[in-house]
Copies of this chain bind each other. A is one copy, B any other.
C-alpha cells in the first residue's frame, strides 16, 4: 500500500502580528499524556481495534481537552480510505418551500444513519469539471440535482471513491442511480385539465428568473404535448418575471393575447398573475382559468381558491435509505425511481 507524507505545520507562519496560537496536534496530546501518537489516535478515533486501559484513555482525553485538540476529519478519512460524507451541490436557484422542506427532512434522515450531509455551491463549474471538483472532496455518495452530469462525470466520481452517485433529472445517466423528476408530466397534467375544463387557447408561464429553465422547459413541452392535435387547442409561452410590474404588464395585454386558460408554472407565479388579472378586471375563472403547481398552503387561501398540480415528493427517510443501500452495495445495478407524483387538484380558479 502506498503511503503519502502529509505535512501538518504546527507552527504556521504568522500572517499578522496577532496571528492565532498554533493549532495543537496529536503529537502535542501524546507528549502531554505521555503516550505514543498511535495511542492518541486509537483513543480519540475510538476505533475499538486496539485495547487501551481506562486510565490511559482518561489521560489522553484530559490532555486533548486541556490543549483544545480535536481530531482532523480529513486525516481520519484519508486513513480510513473513505468518508461518510454525502455531497449535495447547492441548487442553482434559491430553494423554494417544497425543496427546503425536502432537503431538511433528507438531511435529518441521513444524519440518523450517521452520514454527514454537505451542501456546497457549484463554484460556477459545469458537467465534468464540476464532477472533478466534487470528487476532490472524496464523498462516499453524491446527489446531483438538475442536468449537466454525464456518464463521464459519474465515472470520475466513482473512480475517486464515491460508492453511490444519484442524479435527479428527467433522464437516467449511465452508471448512476436515477430519481426521475417528470416535469413534463406536471405540464401535461395542467394542460389536460384546462382542456377538459373547455379551455382551448392555453398560456404557459415561463419564469424569466435564471436557473428555472431546467424545470420550466419540460413543463412547457409537456403542456404542448398534452394538447397536440386536439381540435382548436394552442399553447402560448408567456415569459413572466416574479415582480408585480411584470405581472401587471402581462395582465394588461391579456385580452389582446386571446387566451382563456393559463398554467402559471407554479403556485407562486399563479398567485402573482391571478392577482394582477383581477386588478385588470379579468375574471378568474370565467375569462381566464388559472392553475398553478406545488399545492402550497398559501395558495389555498386565495379567492377564488387556486387549482394546482400537487407534487408529492418521497419521504426524506425513504431517499436516505436508498442512498445507504447504494453505499453498501456499490456494485449493484443502478436503481431508477420516479421522484414525484403529480395529481391535479381542482378548486375554484379553473
Contacts and interface: CB of A to CB of B under 8 A. Distances in A.
A75 B272 contact: no
Interface of A: 1-12, 15-21, 23-27, 67-79, 81-82, 90, 93-97, 100-101, 103-104, 107-108, 110-111, 116-121, 123-124, 132, 135-138, 155-156, 158-161, 163, 242-244, 268, 271-272, 275, 297-298, 300-301, 328-332
Contacts of A82: 12
Contacts of A328: 15-16
Please give me the 9 A-B residue pairs with the lowest Cβ-Cβ distance, nearest first. Answer: A18-B331, A74-B74, A68-B159, A73-B136, A275-B301, A94-B100, A94-B104, A107-B121, A9-B81
Contact of A1 (B9, B118, B244): B9
Contact of A136 (B26, B72, B110, B242): B72
A61 B289 CA distance: 58
Contact of A78 (B72, B97, B121): B72
Contacts of A107: 90, 120-121
A72 B138 contact: yes
A20 B111 contact: no
A137 to B, nearest CB: 5
